[in-house]
Amino acid sequence: MTFVSAASSASLVQVYLAGLQGNLFSAPWHDIAVHGLYQRLASGLLAPAAFAIAVARLGGAQEAAFGSLSPAAATLTGIVLLGEVPGAVSLFAVAASGVGVALVNLGAKRRQPGASQR
């Protein structure tokens, strides 16, 4: 996971330095620092730990479904940290992924032996 994060960060920096994308350096330094810190903590430390805990508690299939909640987490983070307002398409995508995760987990609970006894 660290390799993917480092490789994508290095690629993104090259794109910005070449001037091919956006105005990174016109953004307030505070926003850049908060984003960088969040990326390092969430992607580098919290995500692998949460993934390991989810696999241990839920099993592989159910945990894989929870990966679909990444857009919801990113949207919520954008709202809270950056004050962004998501559009209708983004909100629909978040809702659709949430419904999909719920359906996968409900189906998995029904298939587990002894699930009705809990």
Average pLDDT over residues 43-51: 75
Three-state SS across 77-101? HHHHHHCCCCCHHHHHHHHHHHHHH
Q: What is the pTM of this model?
A: 0.45
| 118 — pLDDT class (breaks 50, 70, 90) | very low
Please state, in angstroms and rounded to a whole number, the distance separating the CA atoms of residues 118 and 107: 16
